[in-house]
Amino acid sequence: MTDTPSNPSTGHLIEQVRLHDHHDPHRQNSRLSEIILGGQDGLVNVLGSTLTRKTDVYLPLACGWEISVPATKTYTNQVIALLAVAGALAGQPVHQLTDAPRWIQRAIDTTAASMSELAQRFVTTDRLFLLGYGVGFGIALEGALKCKEVTGIPCEGLFSSEFKHGPLAMVQAGTPVLFTAPPSGAEMLVNHITEVTCRGGHAVVVAAPHAPLEAEASHFLPLPVANDLEYAVAAAIPFQLFSYALATAKDLDPDYPRNLSKTLTVDCLPRELREPAPRAAVSTAGGEQPMVRVEMLLGQQGLADVESAIIAEVLRLSGHNKSLAAKHLGLTRFALDRRLKKAAED
């Protein structure tokens, strides 16, 4: 069993691991293939987390701290790690994955501005649909989840072939429906787009350049991918950017969505936040920060004061340099300013 959490200390995940241990006494500990077939392995981003102690083998994602409630970079790194594991088990290492950072950066550079404009267009909409075909189905689910989390707008992620079996009845003039598919599935997506546009829906297509798709779409955003592998790694990025832009356009904090919370492990905080220490021992002007872990539940009743105290202390130790404090806290400047504003109002 392979565990792929965004938060490696979530209670229901650890309970799942415990139940698997109980029903699988013949756990293997030698090779990765044996672990996957007979034991448990985990993809983890926080070394020392509960999941690293409960699994037979864990693969570090090493993609930096995921401070915000919506998990973005951990999702992308999990996709890359699983592709690498699948290739290794098949005896066909996917060497092209070394180019993944370039694919991701290219997707950001190409689509960020367009997604921001799209968010402004749909800022008043009351519903969204995100449809994917083939590998794009998983991309659609990821994009829809992020949209729901950070914007509060109902957004359904569906396999595009299934849309006509019920949900299509919700489409009316101007209803935004986003589509995506890998290069190998582009042809199949054309008919699905037509079912929306002929009913007045606004079909936004995010895919590799493809003439029939461009002709049928209400709005076509080219995704710079050459094959299905590049698509699997980079295609979720535009929808994550869209969700972020739509949240900020609605003046919502994308890092801490309404009603959501999770256990966080915050790294690179000064040691004074954990234990007394001489102030001279804490570096705040630059260089490597002391590595500590502070676990807390954010968004839960009674802990707002703890968060405010941590932010205030990190600001003080950073010489009230907001950019530096935001970096230590793992927040964007936007998120830090929102918290400071809320603290002042309270």
Residue 271 has pLDDT above 70, yes or no: no
What does pLDDT average to over the chain?
Answer: 78
Token pair belonging to 106: 């290219």
Q: Give all strands of the β-sheet with 41-44 in edge-to-edge order.
A: 2-3, 41-44, 57-60
Structure tokens at 330: 């793992």
- pLDDT category of residue 280 using cuts at 50, 70 and 90: very low
How confident is residue 24, by pLDDT bands cut at 50, 70 and 90? low
Distance from C-alpha of 315 to C-alpha of 299, rounded to nearest angstrom: 21
Average pLDDT over residues 236-259: 92
Report the pLDDT averaged over residues 192-217: 96
SS3 assignment, position 133:
coil
- Percent of the chain beyond pLDDT 70? 72
How would you class 262 by CB atoms within 10 Å of its CB: exposed for 0-12, middle for 13-18, buried for 19 or more? middle
> Which pLDDT tens digit goes with each residue over 60-91?
887 777 777 788 888 999 999 999 989 988 98
- The rounded distance, in Å, linking the Cα atoms of 37 and 56 is 12
263-345 to CATH, choices 1.25.40, 1.10.472, 1.10.10, 3.40.1840 = 1.10.10
> Could you say which architecture CATH assigns to the domain 2-93?
3-Layer(aba) Sandwich (3.40)
How do the domains of the chain map onto residue ranges?
Answer: 2-93, 100-249, 263-345
- Looking up tokens 């997707």 gives 107
Q: Which is nearest to 236 in space by CA: 100, 124, 345?
A: 100
Tell me the pLDDT band of 262, cut-offs 50, 70 and 90: low
* Residue 11 confidence (pLDDT) above 60: no
Contact (Cβ atoms closer than 8 angstroms) between residue 77 and residue 45: yes
What is the CA 167 to chain-centroid distance, rounded? Answer: 26
Most confident of 19-23, 56-60, 291-295: 56-60
Reduce the secondary structure of 309-342 to three states and give it as a string.
Answer: HHHHHHHHHCCCCHHHHHHHHCCCHHHHHHHHHH
User: Right CATH number for 100-249 from 3.40.50.10490, 3.40.50.300, 1.20.1250.20, 1.20.120.1810?
Assistant: 3.40.50.10490
pLDDT for residue 100: 95
Pairing of strands 202-207, 176-180: parallel
pLDDT tens-digit map of 286-309: 433 322 333 333 333 344 555 677
CB 309 within 8 A of CB 294: no
What is the per-residue pLDDT for 284? 37
User: With 70 as the cut, is the pLDDT of residue 223 above it?
Assistant: yes
pLDDT of residue 290: 28
**Residues 6+ away with beta carbon under 8 Å from 326:** 332, 333, 335, 336
| Extended strands (E) in 1-56 | 2-3, 41-44
Q: Do domains 2-93 and 100-249 have the same CATH topology?
A: yes
Instruction: Look up residue 43 and give its amino acid.
Output: L
Chain Cα centroid distance, residue 94: 23
Q: Which residues of 289-302 are buried (b: 16+ CB within 10 A; e: fewer)?
A: bbebeeeeebeeee
Among 102-106, 122-126, 321-325, which stretch is predicted with the lowest mean pLDDT? 321-325
Per-position b or e across 129-138, b if 16+ CB within 10 A of its CB? bbbbbbbbbb
Provide the pLDDT for residue 43: 82
pTM: 0.69
What pLDDT score was predicted for residue 197? 96
